[in-house]
Structure 1
Amino acid sequence: MTSRPERPTRLAFDAAAAEAHLARVDPRLGRVMAERGPYAPSSAAAPDVFHSLMRAIVYQQLSGKAAGTIHARVLTALGATEAPGPHAILATDTDTLRSAGLSANKEASLRALAAAAVAGALPDETRLADYSDDDLIAAYSAIRGIGRWTVEMLLLFHLGRPDVMPIHDLGVRKGFAHVYGWDELPKPKQMEAACEIWRPYRSVGSWFMWRALEPVAVSCGPAPSAP
């Protein structure tokens, strides 16, 4: 069994307007967007933030294939095929979750997330638009095993926020060095300063830094006709 298929991210902004703005303020990024566009992030088809964070915990520091296998085993251990609730996690004993492939730290993190959900300590998912990015980063990263990067990925790929700048992401830093001709990877603070001109659409610029590292398909034109 594999992980769930991905779905296009439902964006909270006009992507075409964002690309037009970025092309004006940063012509080099504009060339990358013209070659690699359009902006089209996608995320695993988690039904809500709770399950997106649950999946993120399972996937931490693992390859996609291995993480997908463990994620499927965890769902089975919880008696679910799609979206187990927090009560199901809290009702499942440690040995059962560990036997599904979770490390001790990940098992504890899942329980902490579930306990926060049951206690009503998570932001109201019906009012997420009322929360700033910083509010959500502070709220979710207070939970054991969920760091700033994990919440930034949630904001960018699950919630479709426009101005997320994951300055600690290695792929974004590598892409930036490649696009802008830096000999060394930029430090996070250097990334933050250099990408200020991307506001208020730093999510878009960041996504294209990942894309910049991917191979470009080369068209050889139509096959020659037979003589």
Structure 2
Amino acid sequence: MIDEAEPVLREDPVMDRLVDTHDPYVEPDWTEYERLCISIINQQLSTASAAAVRERVFDVLEDEVTPETVLAADDQALRDAGLSRSKVDYIRNAAHAFQEQDFTRAGLAGVDNDEVVDRLTDIKGIGEWTARMYLLFVLERPDILPLGDLAVRRGIEQLYSNGDELTRAEMRDIAEDWRPYRSVATRYIWAEYEADSSIDLDGVGVYSE
């Protein structure tokens, strides 16, 4: 998908520079359920805080993050790892949902983006942002623009308006040039955000529903 997207993105001078500067972020080979749990952990946390909590939670589960291990885990151990009571409930809600329905890549292969979002947001604790992260990272849908993510919004503002605030409508207009590869463009924006120390979000709720 990245190779297919490059000619389209290079039509945008800003993206042209980012393509030359960064390798789009490639995640570890997490399972579908692991990635959904990570998105739940990330909600309302800064990048650094989310990574630390994720590591501790995975340690509690001995790196076997499945619906079965999460449902069997000790509540207090998960709380001690940094999960709020609500997030413990949310990853368990997701565990039950995965046991009852097929949320794998294969199971959702023929389901359109809006229907995937509807199915995921039926799970208590899964909101629009988390569902779009699932579309982008797990299902690898090519044209997702997750403006619920503060890092994406700040990154667009930094790149396209010298840090001045933009409305979401203005951001969507900018992103029209990236269709049908807005997911790939988003990865370049994240890469720039991670590399640019002037975009300081540490301690801020980067991930939001």
> TM-score surpassing 0.5?
yes
- The residue that corresponds to 2:16 in the other structure is 30
- Show structure 1 runs of 5+ residues with no match: 1-12, 217-227
Indicate how the Cα distance of structure 1 residues 69 and 179 shifts in structure 2: closer, same or farther if over 3 A, else same: closer
* Structure-to-structure mapping, 1:46-195, within 5 angstroms: 46=30, 48-64=31-47, 66-77=49-60, 80-120=61-101, 122-181=102-161, 184-195=164-175
| Counterpart residue type for residue 38 of structure 2 | R
Can you list the C-alpha shifts for 1:27-83, whole angstroms capped at 9, x where unaligned?
Answer: 34223323x244x2222431x211111122223333455444443443454xx4222
Distance apart, 1:106 and its partner CA: 0.5
CA RMSD of aligned residues (A): 2.7
8 Å CA contact 1:164, 1:202 repeated in 2? yes
**Highest CA radius of gyration, 1 or 2?**
1
What is the DSSP-based 3-state SS (H/G/I as helix, E as strand, rest coil) of the residue aligned with 1:129? Answer: coil
Higher relative contact order (CA 8 A, sep 6+): 2
Counterpart-to-counterpart distance in 1, 2:70 and 2:143: 33
Indicate how the Cα distance of structure 1 residues 169 and 98 shifts in structure 2: closer, same or farther if over 3 A, else same: closer
| Counterpart residue type for residue 195 of structure 1 | A
- Show structure 2 runs of 5+ residues with no match: 198-209
8 Å CA contact 1:51, 1:83 repeated in 2? no
Q: Which moved more, 1:205-214 or 1:97-106?
A: 205-214
Match among 18, 22, 25 for residue 41 of structure 1: 25
Distance apart, 1:153 and its partner CA: 2.3
Distance apart, 1:183 and its partner CA: 5.8
8 Å CA contact 1:123, 1:139 repeated in 2? no
Can you list the C-alpha shifts for 1:155-186, whole angstroms capped at 9, x where unaligned?
Answer: 32333321111123222222222222356221
The percent identity for this pair of structures is 32
Counterpart-to-counterpart distance in 1, 2:117 and 2:87: 19
Counterpart-to-counterpart distance in 1, 2:150 and 2:184: 16
| Counterpart residue type for residue 166 of structure 2 | P
What is the DSSP-based 3-state SS (H/G/I as helix, E as strand, rest coil) of the residue aligned with 1:128? Answer: coil
Indicate how the Cα distance of structure 1 residues 74 and 132 shifts in structure 2: closer, same or farther if over 3 A, else same: same
Distance apart, 1:101 and its partner CA: 2.8
Q: How high is the TM-score relative to the length of structure 2?
A: 0.78
Distance apart, 1:18 and its partner CA: 0.8
Indicate how the Cα distance of structure 1 residues 166 and 107 shifts in structure 2: closer, same or farther if over 3 A, else same: same
Q: Which moved more, 1:101-110 or 1:177-186?
A: 177-186
What is the DSSP-based 3-state SS (H/G/I as helix, E as strand, rest coil) of the residue aligned with 1:112? Answer: helix
| Counterpart residue type for residue 94 of structure 1 | D
- The residue that corresponds to 1:3 in the other structure is none
